[in-house]
Amino acid sequence: MRPETVSAAFGEPVEFLEEGIGGPEDDMAFVRERLSGFSAGLPGALRMFRPAPTAAFSRRDSHRPGYSAAASQVRAHGFAPVIRPTGGHLVVYDRNALVIDLVASHPEPRSGPVERFSQLAAALQRAFLSLDIKAEVGPVTGEYCPGNHSIHISGRKIAGVAQRLTRYGYHLGTVIMTGPACKSRAAMADAYPALGLPFDPLTVGSVADDAPHVNGTDLKSAVLAGVEALVELRYLPARPEERNIP
């Protein structure tokens, strides 16, 4: 029986996975494989991990005339350019970020995408507030990957949410800037003009910059509790190669 606290908008239960770091292409392939496997009964998954340096372009970005130049710019900063499954625009991150991939099957995935956006953003905001991080939800003028459900502190974005829908389910992707974001900021400052998109580097924030009292373990625990209030998680026995997130 599903716990009474979970939201119907988030669909079927998912496996909770704490995996070791793969490459950026591996991270994107994991999401695509789960999404394509729902028709054959593959279970959904929640992943929370520290990524390798990644420049996640959307497919829409890859069709812009300046994409090749933007990819070269992020590569020069040490970030691997990849095409991510979700929409939006370029997000650049590394081990100073906590990435959350929620990939779930749903009988009617197109029935509640806005509800999923708003409920996840609200859950993340509550997690931050529980740690005395004065986070707000809403768009920030000049932000990277702009959206109505960005999470920010005094106009500095610390997290964003993107989503992709398929016939059998959805993927919600979240990137929380936890450590210093100077390298990500510099890469996006070069890449966004190449894409022909507006961007203000001063809008890039991080938990470390705005709430240095919070450690990574407490942040991960608070965020996990927030997500668990929305979707039923199935905890699997840890495999030897899996590591805890610091």
* Domains, in order of start, for the chain: 8-231 (3.30.930.10)
Task: Report the C-alpha gap between 18 and 16 in whole angstroms.
Answer: 7
Q: Would you say residue 244 has pLDDT above 70? A: no
The pLDDT tens digits of the residues spanning 108-143 come to: 999 889 999 999 999 999 999 999 999 999 999 999
Other Cβ atoms less than 10 A from the Cβ of 202: the count is 12
β-sheet bridge partners, residue 156: 153
Percent of the chain with pLDDT over 70: 93
pLDDT computed for residue 17 by the predictor: 87
* Mean pLDDT computed over every residue of the chain: 92
The pLDDT tens digits of the residues spanning 43-87 come to: 999 999 999 999 999 999 999 999 999 999 999 999 999 999 998
In eight-state DSSP terms, residue 41 is T
pTM exceeding 0.85: yes
Q: Would you say residue 236 has pLDDT above 80? A: no
Return the structure tokens found at 231: 């979707």
For 2-53, list the strands marked E by DSSP: 14-17, 44-49
Single-letter residue type at 59: R
pLDDT computed for residue 6 by the predictor: 77
Q: Would you say residue 96 has pLDDT above 70? A: yes
Q: Cβ(191)–Cβ(64) under 8 Å?
A: no
Task: Report the C-alpha gap between 73 and 80 in whole angstroms.
Answer: 10
Q: Would you say residue 91 has pLDDT above 60? A: yes
The pLDDT tens digits of the residues spanning 201-222 come to: 999 999 998 888 899 999 999 9
Q: Would you say residue 166 has pLDDT above 90? A: yes
